A and B are shown apart, each in its own frame.
Chain A
Amino acid sequence: MSNIHFLIDFLLFGFFPEQQRWRLMIILLICLSHTWLTLKFARHSIPLKTFILCSFCLLTSSWYLAFGDGWLLNIIPTNQLSGFILNICLAYWSIPIATVMSVGFCYLMIYQPELWPTHCFVILAKIIRSIPLITLLFFITLILPMMTNIEITRFQAALTGLIIFLIAYIVEVFKGAHQAIDTHQHESAAALQITGIRKFIHIDLPQIIKNSIPSLINTYIGLIKDTALVTIIGLSDSLGNLQLLIAKYEFKHDFLLLFAIIAALFWMLCFICSLFGKKLEKAIVYE
């Protein structure tokens, strides 16, 4: 057990340079503050424009902190972002991006179902939902670069795969939430001449978000656990790092403990997510 601190440290932060770990701590703080900001927004404490601006700033600054620019912050290669922090970063970056993109696709599916991009998206989403995530990750990592000559790092492939996978599910969640809106509201909106994108933004979307919170949180929790699959395409997330340890050292008696630690970390992350969901549900009450 003498090396247990080293092992836990390796599981958490992997190959990220030790002198630069403060950057990861700030990323964790950013994740928490974004959660807090979302709750504030749901309670109408901050306006929509401020929320969008702050969210954008938080996301870009977390990305900047993770990889640097070689000017103010040292550049960190994407393969050095590893360990449990990689799982957190993948979840943190993919969830907001996929959710925002899903809103756009949801609008297309509801209001522009006849357009060809909508048809393409619907077919693609059906295909993505029918294949395992790992197949999609392999496709983006191995087959897509061969087909298109686009160079893509494993990290980029993992993030892209997770976002695409998440969009395919969230759009269905949103579609279901839209169907739950009372049909009389559509009629009254039409009678008030509120149609198209204006109706979607002002009448449908707030109710879609409210109606979909439980399913949305469910999907997010699924994604958090799915981030562990990136180890199969060669990224060193927490499980990947544990496999490296198993291969390199002979601390076999410690492995059970390390697995338990990883399980506890994922449980904690999912618990925070479900707690966030509960708070969000309570925050969005129209009474």
Chain B
Amino acid sequence: MNNFIEFRNVSAQIDDRTILKDVNLTIHQGEHVGIIGPSGSGKSSLIRTINRLLPIHTGKIIINGKDNHTKNLPQIGMVFQAYALFPHLTVLENLTLAPLLHGGNAKALKCKAQALLEKVRLAGFDDRYPNSLSGGQQQRIAIARALMIDPEILLLDEPTSALDPEMINEVKLVLQDIIANNMTVLIVSHDIAFIKKTTSRILFLENGQIISDQSQKDFFENPAHARQSEFISQLNH
């Protein structure tokens, strides 16, 4: 497996607050990585630096051998905790806007969008507006939108945190179905069961630093750090 995403001494700040400190990380192509840690530990910030939503102050992020500021990078899809759909566009328009603006064929994109809607179990919702949908449905639309660009990297930023238990299940089932084996996936979540089901490797962050990077099995059976054991025990209660 080649090094697909590399963090080289990456630090990031928001105002004067350091949120990522000297992060070094390598993620291989097709790997499914879970990122957990307490609130404010820098989990979301870590994945936001990959698609440049959060600028880094020092270090480098290399994706498929290229700096992430260069052009022709692999497509990166992202799903946010707050869905972030465009309320003035219909479901179909939400899905097709970005690829259309990047030169896609309208007819082909419509077919692709409808196929994806079927995949996320929302066939026939084409002409609905996001505000008329439930949270779970909106999140599934957001997942379909992220997949419209055929991403090689999928970033999931707490995709189930804003949902009630029933909707969480809807979204989890859809995500488990669609995460393809060749897709590199980074999932930030507090939902340990979901992380267990979908990832093979887990990072534990605290104060902007990766304090543990283990395979899923080792993460739970042989925690590398005392803080990690404490966090897992709290989650189990």
Question: CB-CB < 8 A to B78: which residues of A?
Answer: 188, 191
Are B84 and A188 in contact, CB atoms less than 8 angstroms apart? yes
| Closest chain A residue, CB of each to CB of B132 | A287
Question: CB-CB < 8 A to B85: which residues of A?
Answer: 188
- Tell me, in angstroms, the Cα distance from A127 to B84 when the chains sit together: 38
A210 at the interface (CB under 8 A from B): yes
| Closest chain B residue, CB of each to CB of A185 | B84
B125 at the interface (CB under 8 A from A): no
Q: A203-B86, A286-B87 are in contact. Are A192 and B98 (CB under 8 A)?
A: yes
Are B131 and A286 in contact, CB atoms less than 8 angstroms apart? yes
- Tell me, in angstroms, the Cα distance from A84 to B23 when the chains sit together: 71
| Closest chain B residue, CB of each to CB of A186 | B84
Interface size on A, residues (CB 8 A): 19
Partner among B53, B84, B132, B146 whose Cβ is within 8 Å of the Cβ of A182: B84
Q: A185-B86, A194-B97 are in contact. Are A287 and B76 (CB under 8 A)?
A: no
- What does the 1/0 interface line of A189-214 toward B look like (CB < 8 Å)? 11111100010001100110010000
Tell me the minimal C-beta distance from B183 to chain A in angstroms.
16
| Closest chain B residue, CB of each to CB of A210 | B88
Interface of A is mostly: helix
A9 at the interface (CB under 8 A from B): no
| Closest chain B residue, CB of each to CB of A207 | B88
Are B87 and A207 in contact, CB atoms less than 8 angstroms apart? yes
| Closest chain B residue, CB of each to CB of A202 | B97
Are A184 and B82 in contact, CB atoms less than 8 angstroms apart? yes
B102 at the interface (CB under 8 A from A): yes
Q: A191-B51, A191-B53, A286-B131 are in contact. Are A184 and B88 (CB under 8 A)?
A: no
Within 8 A of B (CB), among A221-241: none
Are B101 and A187 in contact, CB atoms less than 8 angstroms apart? no
B204 at the interface (CB under 8 A from A): no
Tell me the minimal C-beta distance from A231 to chain B in angstroms.
42
9 A-B pairs with least C-beta separation: A188-B84, A192-B98, A184-B84, A191-B78, A286-B129, A206-B88, A184-B82, A287-B132, A287-B131
A-B contact pairs, 17 of them (CB 8 A): A182-B84, A184-B82, A185-B86, A187-B80, A188-B78, A188-B85, A188-B86, A188-B142, A190-B52, A191-B53, A191-B77, A193-B98, A194-B98, A198-B101, A202-B101, A206-B88, A207-B88
A184-B80, A190-B52 given; name 14 further pairs at CB < 8 Å: A182-B84, A184-B82, A185-B86, A191-B76, A191-B77, A192-B97, A192-B145, A192-B149, A193-B102, A198-B101, A210-B88, A286-B131, A287-B129, A287-B131
